[in-house]
Structure 1
Amino acid sequence: MMRNILKARKFMYVKQFKGFPTISHFELVEEELGELNDGEFLTSAEFLSVDPYQRAMMLNFKPPALMVGGQIAQIIESKNSNFPVGAKVFAQCGWRTHTIIKPEKFAKHELYVLPDFGSFPYSYGLSVLGMPGNTARFGFLEICQPKEGEIVVVTGAAGAVGSIVGQIAKIKGCKVIGFAGSDEKCKWLETELGFDKAINYKSADVEKQLKEAVPDGIDCFFDNVGGKLGHMINEQMRMFGRISICGAISTYNDEEVLIPAFKTFHRRNLKMEGFNVHVRWSNRFMEGIKGNLEWMKEGKIKYEETITEGFENMPNAFIDLFNGKNTGKAIVKVQKNKY
């Protein structure tokens, strides 16, 4: 039986980013979806992710182009026994409400059925039990290789990745100092997540407070922010320190990029390594998700999300990222579409 024509809504990137993103960079349009072919299935998005990397990635596309991004969706129609109706999936489908998916066009880390999260919400598949969780787990443990008693500093510590990194560092027996952009976020890091100290980089004398917090220097630095703050932290590294470069959100909208002082790296025998979790550990995604899920069940990791209601508010949620309005992962919840 032929179903009614289904219209998907999607956000297109219509103007090249220059400086901070604005509403004018996006356009909401509709697309008619046809019937399924063998092996395909149809999804309805429930939660969508907004991430800083999306700004950088869209510079590779000529407008107009579909905004990239991951989502948690439910399968509502299927001609593929590996993806049955009712299953929840993570899919790298972009900013759209409905998608006809051909699985062979996706890499393993771009499309998979979610495991049972137990009492945790499926939105966590975009955060602690998804890409940000794996970014924190592998990017910190594999590159920094922390040892009990070491000093760990995390920038963007109240964000999707940094908040997990700090908690993993505590699990490993480290002393953890986090940087965040408000007193409220700093209080959350210390009282709820167990950071030893959190510093508001917007109001504090960063250099003074950092030296007071770690007078003997830093062993591991997990950097989500880059820029001048990252540079100041680099200068406080101990001999044989390890630096994991996850992101540089403070510089994404800048015309000029600060050059690090490489003499410090040479003199102190530092290791600095950047990474993309999809490139480095794509074959270990489910391992990371299940490992973080166990830590959550044991109460070793707590998590918070900033959820924006309504698919039409995707651009607003994305813009808010660069203004530091999110605590934990920024997610958009789709109001249920009738089908």
Structure 2
Amino acid sequence: MTRINRRILLASRPEGAVTPASFKLEQAPLDALAEGQFRVRNLYLSIDPYMRGRMNDAKSYAAPLALGEVMIGETAGDVVESKHRDFAVGDKVTGMFGWQDYGTSDGAGVRKIDDTRVPMTAYLGVAGMPGATAWYGLNKIIAPRPGQTVVVSAASGAVGSVVGQLAKLAGCRAVGIAGGEQKCRYVVDELGFDACVDYKAGNLHQDLKNATPDGVDGCFENVGGEALDATLSRMNPFGRIAVCGMIAGYDGQPVPIKQPSIILTMRLLVQGFIVTEHLDLWPEALGTLAALVLEKKLRYRDSVVDGLEHAPEALIGLLQGKNFGKQLVKIA
């Protein structure tokens, strides 16, 4: 039986904000498997901020996605056909199969998962790449010590929510920055942060000052712009800043640092990082995160959009801050 594969391609490069016009949905029959290959039916697609950068034709840590290519993205699903000795029909896996119904692989970069104890969706979030991102930035760059204060922007998102919880487990005061009263309540009441500042309330600098009476020792930055400026103004000497993302500028908006001299006067360490450049540490990170999920020491929340055809609007919503927790698309 020939399988028909729906896939979403990058149709044009956005100028400014992403719109549906940047994408094209098409259908095509799948080729037969070659020896050493297997086929995955994608059940869930992860939607992440890095996708916006890959849509641009600009110098970055990774090559831009070519026009006409399937949109990049990690998926979780079932093996449905196999000519590979290490992957059998019925295996559950994650891999970078992109925005499509089916993925074909020789096994490179594909990870088997066990969804009998940890839900499949968690392997795209808290126990997957976003979780590993949080674990690496916090432990290897911020290196928190008990009693210190860690500030996290986009605190209700897939990465930020894990950073704050790990900081609390390390004995730190965790302070989030998020958009809206509902998200801030979630960050404090359900995730266990000590405080959360609503940047939409219009008093970010003073509210953050009130929430960090002893200053800030570590900053996990996902947003940039005003959030970063506010946190910089509260940094203690020899503070550490892990720069994970600058989502405030992903549509081309300028996000200058208003007081860069603070980096010098406070002798700050500012380190950007790409978690896929540290794959040697992923087994430790993912093992720790999965165990914490099983022990119910890590909480998480998924935002799920139903249908592959709605993936573009899921990405657009994510870039506008409309998601709550980890943004996923349920494909099958």
TM bucket by the smaller chain?
over 0.9
Structural mapping, 1:124-135, within 5 Å: 124-135=122-133
What TM-score comes out, normalization by structure 2 length?
0.95
Structural RMSD (CA): 1.3
User: Does the Cα contact within 8 Å between 1:154 and 1:177 map onto a contact in 2?
Assistant: yes
Shift of the alpha carbon at 1:234? 1.1
User: Does the Cα contact within 8 Å between 2:177 and 2:227 map onto a contact in 1?
Assistant: no
2:276 to 275, 278, 288: 278
Structure-2 separation of matches of 1:181 and 1:152 = 18
User: Does the Cα contact within 8 Å between 1:33 and 1:100 map onto a contact in 2?
Assistant: no
Q: Classify the secondary structure of the residue corresponding to 2:219.
A: strand
Q: Classify the secondary structure of the residue corresponding to 1:46.
A: strand
1:199 to 156, 179, 197: 197
Structural mapping, 1:178-327, within 5 Å: 178-259=176-257, 261-279=259-277, 281-327=278-324
2:69 to 51, 58, 65: 65
Structural mapping, 1:162-177, within 5 Å: 162-177=160-175
1:99 to 66, 89, 103: 103
Q: Classify the secondary structure of the residue corresponding to 2:317.
A: helix
Task: Could you tell me which runs of 5 or more consecutive residues in structure 2 were left unpaired when the two chains were aligned.
Answer: 57-63
1:142 to 137, 140, 160: 140
Deviations 1:70-96 (A, max 9, x none): 000210010112111100111101111
User: Does the Cα contact within 8 Å between 2:40 and 2:81 map onto a contact in 1?
Assistant: yes
Shift of the alpha carbon at 1:117? 4.2
Structure-2 separation of matches of 1:206 and 1:52 = 23
1:122 and 2:104 are equivalent in the alignment? no
Structure-2 separation of matches of 1:74 and 1:155 = 34
Shift of the alpha carbon at 1:250? 1.0
What TM-score comes out, normalization by structure 1 length?
0.93
Q: Report which stretch shifted further, 133-142 or 29-38.
A: 29-38
Structure-1 separation of matches of 2:175 and 2:294 = 25
Structure-1 separation of matches of 2:293 and 2:238 = 32
User: Does the Cα contact within 8 Å between 1:146 and 1:172 map onto a contact in 2?
Assistant: yes
Q: Which residue of 1 aligns with 2:81?
A: 77
Q: Report which stretch shifted further, 239-248 or 60-69.
A: 60-69
Amino acid in structure 1 at the alignment position of 2:29: E
Structure-2 separation of matches of 1:118 and 1:241 = 41
Task: Could you tell me which runs of 5 or more consecutive residues in structure 1 were left unpaired when the two chains were aligned.
Answer: none
How many equivalent residue pairs? 325
Q: Which residue of 1 aligns with 2:61?
A: none
Structure-2 separation of matches of 1:266 and 1:228 = 19
Shift of the alpha carbon at 1:216? 3.0
Deviations 1:91-149 (A, max 9, x none): 1011111122123xx3xxx32111x2443310111101100010001111110000000
User: Does the Cα contact within 8 Å between 2:65 and 2:71 map onto a contact in 1?
Assistant: no
Report runs of 4+ in structure 1 exceeding 6 Å deviation: none
Structure-2 separation of matches of 1:150 and 1:46 = 41
Q: Identity of aligned pairs, percent? A: 35
Amino acid in structure 2 at the alignment position of 1:18: E
Structure-2 separation of matches of 1:283 and 1:37 = 30
Amino acid in structure 2 at the alignment position of 1:293: A
User: Does the Cα contact within 8 Å between 2:92 and 2:115 map onto a contact in 1?
Assistant: no
Structure-2 separation of matches of 1:252 and 1:301 = 29
Q: Classify the secondary structure of the residue corresponding to 2:157.
A: coil
1:40 and 2:37 are equivalent in the alignment? yes
Amino acid in structure 1 at the alignment position of 2:22: H
Q: Classify the secondary structure of the residue corresponding to 2:201.
A: coil
